[in-house]
Structures are given as C-alpha cells and as structure tokens.
C-alpha cells in the first residue's frame, strides 16, 4: 500500500472502512428485538431519549422505574436528551412519551444506529487517533497505523455497541482521552475527562483504582509536601467540581426540589439490591458457583463484603507498584534538582508505562470479583488490553496475551450475542479482526505458557461451538452451554489478571531498577547509549519490560535514542511486516 | 509525488517493460501449449490476495441481514421448481409469479444448488412455500453467491499471473473482485453476476492466452447461463471468425472453424438438448424473450433513452408553459404523471419501437465490428467487446440498470492502458455505480452502498491515477479535462440532493403538510439523467479512442497478439 502512494490516505481510509463495518453490523438484529413487553437494551436507550426529552430533570431518575428507569449517570442522560431532541425534530413518533414504547420501525432503527456511530465518531475515534500519535509517538508511522487498525476493528466493542446496542465507546473514549492527557502531562484535563467517563457510565469505576493510584503517584513523584500537595489539591478540586457540574440539575433548587434529591440518581446508579451476578458471566463468582453454590451458603451481605474485599485485594498489587514507583522516582530525582525542574516543565512521568497495566489489573479484578457484573463488562478490561496489544510486535507475549484475551472475551459474550441474533456478525468480526492483525495461534513463540493456553482454549471453544450447533442441550441441564462457556473463559481471565500483575511489577522494575540507588532516566540521559537501549525495548507493549519514551525525550536525547532503537526495530519490523500482510493491494 | 519522481517512474516503466514484454509473450505461448490442466489446480494465491478474499468475504457475511429484492424470492422459487418438478415442467410452472426465465444451464445450476438446500432446510425447496424468509434460506442463498463468486476470484488471480505488469493488474483484479456493482447487485439486491462475470472473464483470459477455442466455448456456456450476454456476442463472433477461423492473410482455416462450430453446437445441445427432445423449445424461448415490456425499465437505466425521455418531459413542460401548438400525445402526458410504472410513451417526441432501437444498436455495433475485423488483436477484441455491451446498454430496448456491469467489467481490464482509457473508466464507473444506487433504497443499506463505493473508488483511483497520467496536449483537452472534473465533482451534490428530497417530502408527509407523491420520481429522474450524461460521454470517448488508436505508445495490452 505504501508503495502505491496511498500513504497519506491510509488513516482516513481506516476510519472510513471502520465506519463502513459499523454500519454493516448495524444492519443486524439488536438486543430485545421484537420481544415485548420489555424488549432489551436497545429499548432502554431509546426510552431514555423519550423520557429525558419530555420530562423535567426531577423526574428523570424516578419516572416509571419498572419500565427501564434511567440507571446510568447524568452524562448518559444528557446524551440521550440531545439524541431525543434530534429524533423529535426528524420524526416525533420515534420518541413520543409512552406511546413510542417498543417502536421498531425501520426509520427509528436507522436513527438509533446512527446515533451510536455518531457518538463513536465524536468521542472514541478521535481518542484513538490521538492515542496512536501520543502513546506510539516514537514509533514508525506504520506501527501507528497498525495500532489504529487493531483498535478500530476491536471486535468485542463493535459487536456490543453496533450489534447488541449500547454506547460503551463513549465511556471508553473518554477514558482513552484521559490517558492521552496523562501521557502529555496534562493531569487536570485528564482527570476531568475521566470524570466524564465516570459520569457517562458507572462502569468506568473499574478503572478508578488504576487512575487514582497513578495520579497519587504523580503527586508523590512531584514531592509531598510541596508541589505534590499543590497538585493533589488541584486534582481534587477539578474532579469534585466536574462532578458537581455534572449533577447540577439534580440538587440545585430551581431544577430539583431539594439538595437531598441527589440521593435519587445515586441510588439508581449504584443498585446494591440486585444479585451477585446476572445471567452467566465468566467471573470468579459465577464460575465457582457451579461447585460452591454461594447463594445457598452465604448471606447476601456477607457476599457483598467478600466481593468488595477480594476486588480490593485484586487491584492492590498494581496500586502498590504504582505508588512505589512514584516514591522511588522522587528519591532518585531529588538528587538532581535542576534536571527535575526541567522535567516538571515538560511534565514527563517516568512511570507512565505502568498506567495501562494498572488499568488492566484493576478492571480485571473488578470484573472477576466484584458484585453485579454483566458479561458485557468484559469490554472494560479489554480496552487496556487492546491498547497494550496495539503496539506490540507479533512475537511478544503482550501480543499473544492481548489477542487471546480479546478472542476469549468475545467468546464469553457468545450466549448474549446468540440471544440477540448476531451469530454471523460474531463469526465475521472475529475472523476479520484476527486476519487484519495477522494472528495465528500456531505461530506464537512455541513452548510458552500462553501458546499452550491459547491452543487449549481455542480447541475447547471451537469444540463447544460445534457441540452447540449440532446438539440441543439435554433437558436436565438446559444451561449447560453457557455454563461450559463460563468454565472455559474464566481461567483465561484469571490468568490474564495474574499476568497483568506480573507485568506491572516487571515494568516497575524496568523503569527505575529494584531500588532507589539506580540511576533515574533523566540523569541517564547524559549517557545516550543506555537510554537508547531502553528506548529500544520500549513502547507500549513492546515487552513486559516496556517503558514509554515520550516525544520530549526524543527532543532531549533524541538522536541517541533513535540510533539505539534501530537495532531493536529491525527485529520488530519482521513482525510488523508479516502482520500487515506485506501489501494489501 | 514530485515531478522528478513521476518522470522517473515513467522512465523506469518504459525501460523495464521492454524485456518483460518479450518474456510475457513467450509465456503466453507457453500457456497455449497443453499445460493448463496442471496449473489450474495449484493453490497459487499470495498473502495479499488471501487478505482481500477474507476481508471482503467477512464484509459480505455482515450483509446477510441486509435488504434483499424480489430477486431473492425469484431464485428461491427456481430452487424449488428445479428440485420438486421433473425437467419437463420447469419452463411451464406458474405456481409463483417468478417463473423460470433464464436459459437451461442456469436451471441446471439451480438444480445443483437445490440438492444441498434440501438438506439445509427442506422448506427452502418447497414449491408452495412462497416468500419464505427464514434464517436458513437467507444464509444458504447468500452463501451460494459468495461461494460461486470464487470463480471470479480464481480467474482474476490467473489474470495477475501472466500479466505484463502484475502489480497493476493486481489492482485491477482487486477492483473487479471488490466492485461495488457486485456488492450492490449480488450481495444486497441478490443475483449471481459475480459468478457469471467470472465465466466471462475466464473466456477473455483464454483469449489473452491465445486459446481462442476455449474462449469461444466458455462464452457459449455463459450464453446458456444468462442470455443477456448476447449483447457481447457480435464481438465474439467477429473476433473468432477473423482471428481463429482465418489466417492473418485472410485464408479460411477450415479445421479451426469446424472444431469451433462443433464445440459451440455441442454446448448448446448440452443445454437445450432435453428441451429439444421434449419439443418444448417454443415455450422455453417465449420465457426467455418476453417482448411485452416497455422502452424503459421502471427506473430508467442511465442510457440514451433516459436522456430522450427527459428531453420529452422538458419539451412538454415548455409546450405547456408557452402554449405552443404542437401535437401532444395525450397518453404521453398521462405517462409522464404516472412516472414510475408502466410503458413510456412520449408526449412530443415520436414514439420509439423495438425495431428502431434494434437498428440503432446494430448500426453502432457495425462501426466497432468493422474496426475489429481489420485489427483482430486481443486488445482490440477487448475494447470491441466492451463497446458492443456498451452500445446495447445505451440503445437497447428495456435495459435494466444492472446491465451496466456487462461493460464495466471488461472496461476495467483496459483501465491502465493510457490516460484516455483511465479517464473513460473513471467516468463510466462513477456514473455506472451511481446509477445502481436506486436499486437499494432502504436507509441503512443506502449508507453502506455509498460508503463502500467511496472506499472502493479511493482505493482504485489513487494508485492507478499516477501511473497513467499524461499532460493534456492542447487547449481542447484542457477544456475537456476541466469539464469532466466538474461533472465528477457534481456527484456529491447529486447524492446530497437525492437524499434530501425524499427526506424532506417524508417529513412533510409525516407532518401532514401535503403529500406530494409527484416528488418521488424526481430523485430517480435526476440520478438517471445525470448518470446518463456521463455514460453517453464515456461511450463517445471510448469509441473515439478505439477508432483513432494512438500510433506511438499504445499501452501494454497492445503487445498481446
């Protein structure tokens, strides 16, 4: 493709084709299609447009709760309101209050589908474009394009957002934007965007330990007390004021009856009165429930405590590593004050590469151990996984893990997709994505744990599909296939969670060495060689020991870095080339 | 790309192509030796080709739930007819209104497809299960389209292998395989054009390799699959007669003639034989050629008659306005207001009869055929073939817009010959594909057809454009170049207009302001007329280029004898 002078066209074309694919998926069925009286997620989202359009703020979180009452944070409500206004302008019957319930006309379907694509284009796609520029800034244009390709065609998200019908890409997009701002050192903007992410969907809370620990480590790194404390105050004020603004109409008297009215949305957003898990979800509770039957043995309140404790245990290692790195950097950096000030200006963070791993660990621990998890929630851990995967060469273990977890993530949603009538889309997207990223499980580095795991899991998954296709479940166990699905998927997710902890620790070591005595990256910049070596091994997902070198590093010791990189890049190019399939045209 | 490197690449092309030419001609000779049986069954597919195949197939898989026209039910009914009825009743059955009206090979093809269909879901082949829309039948029929289209893919890969400039041929091959026409007509609307074009290209490929007998046989087979390919028959007839049944000096080659005649008769016997034995030929022919239709199809295909019809409408409008005393055909006025349905009757312009269209078509084809007779090379044949199909599309009686694929496919093979061909290809493809858009009118699918076509165009245009670029040589060319660019730039506006007008009227109807059903026809007419302008212009261009072939540099295909 590059040879033919299409280079300048690749990124627009990628965005364009991904949009095409999104519309193609949209042709299919959606959650709750023609299943009265409750329908599904599609109807929920449509219903929210209807109620936000026609009702005053104070009724948003209390109107007819039995029929898909609003239970997402305010930003979703505002987005629904905007969509509702447009829908009303085009065709008022699509969002008529109460009268439009369960409407399934062709026009209304196209409108709903287009809103998802539009919000995705507004938030998620720009976030990814910036991500590939910022996080892979020191990599070749080709790698950046490949990263974008990997992210744009991410099958799990495409299937859920454009097939099943939800707006997850907005929530994920805000998180990616936040990460982009962290990478460029604009912590306040990053925190604000993460607040937006939380304000769109409470699921973003799964990232909170990762992001929180990163920001805390930043404060530690800047020095507490002193600049760090000031930074902390600023962050706190930004976050709180963002939340205040988001919830404004729900407690300020002109709109809301009283300040206490705020409890109304809060109790809707965090429903602790639901079960431990719904349907079948590939997490610890559901998988172990096959044998242990939790709900019969332990009381609900105990279960809540259990799950909270386990979740916290799950993400603590990554928080620890992050804070520890911040602390060690501070120690070593303190020895070279002049350079540290310079770095402050450039707002570089040496432990930035830990961020995706921290997000992965914390979101996995929530997914596996927390309360009230849906199968769709796997999208949350899949995002940092795919971000890591996006820049990884084919022969790295990040690549192997990334693709495995993604594929199994999609597989774990199969019962849901089957119910929605998205079987063809499931097959098509899995094959499409695996092909365009050049994945072949047989060609992974042989003898590694991840290859063995991949082969075993894929065999089991394909076997299960074949069984399900040819045989109906026995009448004694009507749920046998979803349960088997959970039992195949859960071990992969547990191992991936452990792997993410391991990687986090390794990256933590690689950044500053095991102890405070080792040289800091900034002081090492004088010795171009050592930095070059580091920069070479780096890049997001270049290896477990990966450290991201930012653009400004390049400005400082830029030449040395790029010289050092070339060797390692040569190795990578082999991989990249075969992934790209040499030439497309 | 800078000027320097542009020149550089041109030079390189010239210098490199010389030895390559010799090589390829010798290769072509090798191929004509009895060797093909070995090479045909080799999995000779490169990674890039696999990528295109897999990615496009997955995209088509996503289109399974897309809108499908009545043609879907037509083909399902044919599966049912050929499966449940004995062969003697195939062309008599009227259970469904969609009676079998393709030649026998296609009926046998449907019979073949109906066997697995029965095992997939026996309801598919139930004759009385009209308009069956179950999950199984959609999956099955759509899958057969994708699988039979592999014929096209296989032939296109063969085209790359022996090509003079394989990288360029690869782009052309990919552009044909991924043609938006196939996506719209086959994978949404539902037909088997990919498969049939595969046979056509196979026949053309055989002509390129010098195996003219095989080329003739394959074309005879194709004719027995779908008789619309008769549009191309004159070119085949003249080419084979001149270059296969005669020596270059004009002496008859009796042996070749007899073998070709026998082979073609054999093909027709294999196809129509059973019906000859049963004495059903008149019935079969009456199904194949129903002469009861009007000049224009429901939606006017973007051809010459669309322009004439539009001119008639405009004249009528002017006549009504100015109160001129011209004899106005009253039924023609009624025909105007009916717009979409029924026969087209002109109000002012004298009416056209089938015989008129026949004479005009033949006259234009004759011009082309005379040139082909004088210069029966592969490239000349390819151009003449394209022009024959083109002429029939432009002037034929009751032409479908889908028939545009008939000449777009061979025209694509000529695309990189020279800039003149390339520009013709661009104008015809854009106008032709846009002319297919009205086939798909549901909103969700409409977005897809537009996005896909834009993607396709960018992927074809950008890499090919630089290879063939030539500076315009005189002021006339400069003006022409600008006018053509303006014309092409008009398509986005046309798209916006044709989208907004129905949206606007829908809104008015929804809000009970008025119901102006007259407006429904307007976007279709605009599309048809605007595309017709480009297609007629493309025809003039191609005809001119063909009749005034450049002497100095003719393009790579000229080297193939």
**Helix/strand/coil (H/E/C) assignment for every residue in B251-269:** CECHHHHHHHHHHHHHHHH
Q: At what angle do helices A41-54 and A74-90 cross, to 10 degrees?
A: 80
- Nearest CB to B62: which of A24, A93, A107? A24
Write out chain B residues lying below 8 Å of A107, CB-based: 443
Q: At what angle do helices B304-322 and B378-395 cross, to 10 degrees?
A: 30
A583 interfacial to chain B (CB closer than 8 Å) = yes
CB atoms under 10 Å from CB of A304, counted, come to: 15
SS3 content of chain B, % helix, strand, coil (to 5): 75, 0, 25
What tokens does A507 get? 């990256």
Record: contact B62-A5, CB cut-off 8 A: no
| Residue A400 distance to chain B (closest CA, Å) | 21
Residue of chain B with shortest Cα separation from A585: B171
Print pLDDT tens along chain A (585 aa).
Answer: 445 566 788 899 999 999 999 999 999 999 888 888 888 889 999 999 999 999 988 888 888 888 888 889 999 999 999 999 999 998 889 999 889 898 888 889 999 999 999 999 999 999 999 999 999 988 888 889 999 999 999 999 999 999 999 999 999 999 999 999 999 988 999 999 999 999 999 899 999 999 999 999 988 888 777 788 888 999 999 999 999 999 888 888 777 777 777 888 888 887 666 666 666 788 888 888 888 888 778 887 888 888 889 999 999 999 999 988 888 877 655 555 555 555 554 466 788 889 999 999 999 999 999 877 888 999 999 999 999 999 888 888 899 999 999 999 999 999 999 999 999 999 999 999 999 998 888 877 777 888 889 999 999 999 999 999 999 999 888 889 999 999 999 999 999 999 999 999 998 888 865 544 433 443 333 333 333 333 333 344 443 333 333 333 333 333 322 322 333 333 333 333 334 433 343
Backbone φ and ψ for A435, nearest 5 degrees, come out as: -70, -50
pLDDT for the residue A445: 76
- Torsion angle of C-alpha atoms A568, A570, A576, A578, degrees rounded to 10: -130
Question: Do residues A219 and A233 touch, judged by C-beta distance below 8 A?
Answer: no
- Nearest CB to A91: which of B63, B459, B510? B510
Q: At what angle do helices A106-119 and A10-26 cross, to 10 degrees?
A: 150
pLDDT in tens, B188-198: 999 999 999 99
pLDDT in tens, B55-110: 999 999 999 999 999 999 999 999 999 999 999 999 998 888 888 989 999 999 99
Record: contact A435-B48, CB cut-off 8 A: no
B59 interfacial to chain A (CB closer than 8 Å) = yes
Three-state SS across B146-200? Answer: HHHCHHHHHHHHHHHHCCCCHHHHHHHHHHHHCCHHHHHHHHHHCCCHHHHHHHH
Write out chain A residues lying below 8 Å of B442, CB-based: 106
Distance CA A504, CA A360 (A): 9
Find out whether the peptide bond into A37 is cis, omega within 30 degrees of 0. yes
Record: contact A16-B454, CB cut-off 8 A: yes
Residue of chain A with shortest Cα separation from B452: A20
Record: contact B62-A17, CB cut-off 8 A: no
Return the domain boundaries, chain A.
2-30+125-162+270-580, 33-104
Q: Among residues A47, A56, A54, which one has the least CA distance to residue A264?
A: A56
Distance CA B379, CA B542 (A): 13
| Residue A101 distance to chain B (closest CA, Å) | 19
Write out chain A residues lying below 8 Å of B45, CB-based: none
Cα distances from B105 to residues A418, B112, B153, B453, in angstroms, run 39, 10, 21, 32
Record: contact B62-A91, CB cut-off 8 A: no
Record: contact A90-B507, CB cut-off 8 A: yes
Which helix (DSSP H) or strand (DSSP E) does residue A48 occupy? helix A41-54
Q: Residue B31: pLDDT band by 50, 70, 90 thresholds?
A: very low
Q: Length of chain A, please?
A: 585
pLDDT for the residue A535: 35
Question: Do residues A535 and A551 touch, judged by C-beta distance below 8 A?
Answer: no
| Residue B493 distance to chain A (closest CA, Å) | 20
Backbone φ and ψ for A373, nearest 5 degrees, come out as: -105, 140
Residue of A2, A4, A6 to mutate, testing the B interface (most B Cβ within 10 Å of its Cβ): A4
Record: contact A16-B451, CB cut-off 8 A: yes
Residue of B2, B49, B53, B65 to mutate, testing the A interface (most A Cβ within 10 Å of its Cβ): B65
What tokens does B164 get? 């003079």
- Nearest CB to B455: which of A17, A582, A583? A17
Return the domain boundaries, chain B.
60-148, 150-277+355-559
Record: contact A436-B466, CB cut-off 8 A: no
Question: Do residues B212 and B220 touch, judged by C-beta distance below 8 A?
Answer: no
Q: Residue B298: pLDDT band by 50, 70, 90 thresholds?
A: low
Tokens 């630089």 locate to: B466
Chain B, window 421-460: residues with a beta carbon less than 8 angstroms from a chain A beta carbon: 442-445, 447-448, 451-452, 454-455, 458-459
Record: contact A106-B66, CB cut-off 8 A: no
Q: What is the DSSP letter of B520?
A: G
- ipTM of this predicted complex? 0.86
Tokens 């990814």 locate to: A128
pLDDT for the residue A3: 52
Record: contact A435-B54, CB cut-off 8 A: yes
B139 interfacial to chain A (CB closer than 8 Å) = yes
Q: How many CB pairs under 8 A join A and B?
A: 103
């Amino acid at each position: 493709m590059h040879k033919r002078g299409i280079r300048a066209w690749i990124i627009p074309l990628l965005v364009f084709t991904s949009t095409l694919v999104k519309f193609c998926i949209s042709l299919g069925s959606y959650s709750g299609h023609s299943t009265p009286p409750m329908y599904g997620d599609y109807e929920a989202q449509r219903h929210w447009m209807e109620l936000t359009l026609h009702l005053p703020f104070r009724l948003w979180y209390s109107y007819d709760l039995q029929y898909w009452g609003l239970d997402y944070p305010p930003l979703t409500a505002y987005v629904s309101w905007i969509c509702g206004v447009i829908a009303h302008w085009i065709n008022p019957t699509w969002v008529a209050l109460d009268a439009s319930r369960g409407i399934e006309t062709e026009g209304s379907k196209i409108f709903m589908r287009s809103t998802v694509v539009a919000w995705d284009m507004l938030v998620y796609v720009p976030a990814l474009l910036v991500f590939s520029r910022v996080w892979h800034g020191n990599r070749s244009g080709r790698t950046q394009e490949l990263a974008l390709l990997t992210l744009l065609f991410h099958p799990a998200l495409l299937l859920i957002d454009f097939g099943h019908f939800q707006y997850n890409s907005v929530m994920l997009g805000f998180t990616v934007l936040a990460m982009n701002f962290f990478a460029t050192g604009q912590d306040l903007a990053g925190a604000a965007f993460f607040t937006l992410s939380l304000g769109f969907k409470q699921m973003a809370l799964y990232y909170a330990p990762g992001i929180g620990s990163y920001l805390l480590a930043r404060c530690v790194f800047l020095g507490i007390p002193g600049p760090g404390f000031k930074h902390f105050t600023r962050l706190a004020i930004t976050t709180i004021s963002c939340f205040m603004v988001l919830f404004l109409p729900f407690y300020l008297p002109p709109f809301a009856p009283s300040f206490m009215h705020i409890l109304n949305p809060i109790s809707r957003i965090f429903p602790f009165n639901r079960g431990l898990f719904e349907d079948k979800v590939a997490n610890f509770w559901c998988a172990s429930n096959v044998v242990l039957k939790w709900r019969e043995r332990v009381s609900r309140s105990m279960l809540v405590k259990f799950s909270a404790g386990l979740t916290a245990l799950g993400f603590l290692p990554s928080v620890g590593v992050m804070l520890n790195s911040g602390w060690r950097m501070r120690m070593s950096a303190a020895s070279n004050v002049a350079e540290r000030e310079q770095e402050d200006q450039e707002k570089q963070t040496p432990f930035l590469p830990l961020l995706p791993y921290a997000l992965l660990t914390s979101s996995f621990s929530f997914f596996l151990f927390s309360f009230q998890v849906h199968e769709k929630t796997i999208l949350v851990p899949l995002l940092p996984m795919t971000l890591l995967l996006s820049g990884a060469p084919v022969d790295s273990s990040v690549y192997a893990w990334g693709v495995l977890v993604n594929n199994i993530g999609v597989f774990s949603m199969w019962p849901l997709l089957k119910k929605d009538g998205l079987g063809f889309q499931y097959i098509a997207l899995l094959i499409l994505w695996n092909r365009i990223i050049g994945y072949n499980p047989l060609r992974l580095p042989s003898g590694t744990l991840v290859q063995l795991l991949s082969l075993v899991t894929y065999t089991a998954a394909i076997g299960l599909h074949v069984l399900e296709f040819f045989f109906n479940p026995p009448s004694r166990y009507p749920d046998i296939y979803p349960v088997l699905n959970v039992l195949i998927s859960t071990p992969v997710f547990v191992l991936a969670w452990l792997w993410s902890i391991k990687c986090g620790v390794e990256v933590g070591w690689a950044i500053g060495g095991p102890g405070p005595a080792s040289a800091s990256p900034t002081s090492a910049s004088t010795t171009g060689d050592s930095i070059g070596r580091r920069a070479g091994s780096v890049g997001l997902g270049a290896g477990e020991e990966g450290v991201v070198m930012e653009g400004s590093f390049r400005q400082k010791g830029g030449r040395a870095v790029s010289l050092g990189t070339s060797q390692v890049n040569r190795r990578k190019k082999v991989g990249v080339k075969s992934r790209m399939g040499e030439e497309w045209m | 790309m800078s000027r320097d490197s542009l020149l550089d690449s041109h030079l390189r092309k010239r210098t490199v192509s010389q030895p390559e030419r010799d090589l390829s001609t010798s290769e072509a000779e090798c191929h004509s030796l009895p060797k093909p049986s070995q090479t045909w069954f080799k999995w000779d597919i490169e990674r890039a080709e696999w990528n295109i195949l897999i990615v496009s197939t997955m995209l088509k898989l996503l289109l399974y739930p897309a809108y499908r026209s009545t043609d879907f039910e037509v083909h399902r009914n044919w599966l049912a007819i050929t499966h449940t009825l004995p062969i003697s009743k195939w062309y008599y059955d009227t259970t469904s209104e969609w009676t079998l009206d393709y030649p026998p090979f296609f009926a046998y093809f449907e019979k073949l497809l109906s066997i697995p269909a029965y095992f997939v879901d026996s309801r598919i082949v139930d004759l009385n299960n009209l308009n069956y829309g179950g999950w199984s039948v959609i999956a099955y029929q759509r899958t057969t389209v994708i699988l039979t289209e592999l014929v096209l893919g296989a032939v296109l890969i063969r085209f790359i292998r022996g090509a003079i400039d394989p990288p360029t041929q690869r782009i052309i091959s990919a552009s044909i395989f991924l043609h938006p026409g196939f996506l719209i007509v086959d994978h949404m609307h539902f037909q088997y054009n990919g498969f049939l074009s595969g046979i056509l290209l196979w026949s053309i490929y055989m002509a390129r390799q010098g195996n003219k007998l095989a080329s003739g046989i394959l074309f005879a087979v194709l004719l027995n699959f779908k008789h619309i390919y008769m549009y191309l028959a004159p070119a085949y007839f003249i080419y084979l007669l001149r270059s296969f049944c005669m020596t270059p000096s004009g002496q008859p080659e009796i042996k070749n003639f007899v073998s070709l005649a026998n082979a073609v008769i054999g093909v027709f016997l294999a196809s129509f034989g059973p019906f000859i034995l049963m004495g059903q030929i008149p019935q079969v022919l009456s199904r194949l050629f129903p002469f009861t239709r009007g000049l224009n199809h429901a939606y006017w295909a973007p051809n010459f008659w669309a322009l004439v019809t539009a001119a008639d409408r405009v004249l009528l409008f002017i006549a009504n306005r100015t109160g001129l005393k011209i004899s106005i055909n009253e039924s023609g006025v009624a025909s105007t207001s009916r717009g979409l349905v029924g026969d087209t009757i002109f109000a002012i312009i004298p009416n056209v009869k089938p015989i008129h269209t026949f004479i005009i078509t033949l006259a234009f084809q004759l011009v082309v055929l005379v040139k082909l007779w004088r210069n029966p090379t592969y490239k000349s044949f390819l151009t003449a073939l394209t022009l024959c199909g083109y002429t029939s599309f432009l002037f034929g009686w009751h032409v479908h817009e889908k028939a545009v694929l008939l000449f777009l496919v061979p025209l694509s093979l000529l695309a990189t010959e020279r800039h003149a061909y390339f520009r013709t290809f661009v104008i015809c493809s854009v106008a032709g594909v846009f002319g297919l858009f009205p086939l798909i009118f549901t909103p969700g699918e409409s977005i897809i057809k537009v996005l896909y076509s834009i993607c396709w165009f960018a992927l074809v245009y950008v890499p090919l454009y630089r290879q063939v670029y030539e500076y315009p040589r005189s002021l006339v060319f400069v003006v022409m170049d600008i006018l053509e660019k303006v014309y092409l730039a008009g398509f986005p506006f046309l798209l916006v207009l044709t989208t907004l007008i129905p949206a606007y009227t829908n809104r008015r109807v929804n809000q009970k302001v008025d119901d102006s059903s007259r407006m429904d026809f307007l976007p279709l007419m605009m599309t048809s007329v605007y595309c017709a302008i480009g297609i007629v212009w493309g025809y003039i261009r191609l005809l001119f280029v063909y009749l005034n072939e450049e002497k100095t540099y003719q393009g790579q295909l000229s080297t193939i004898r």
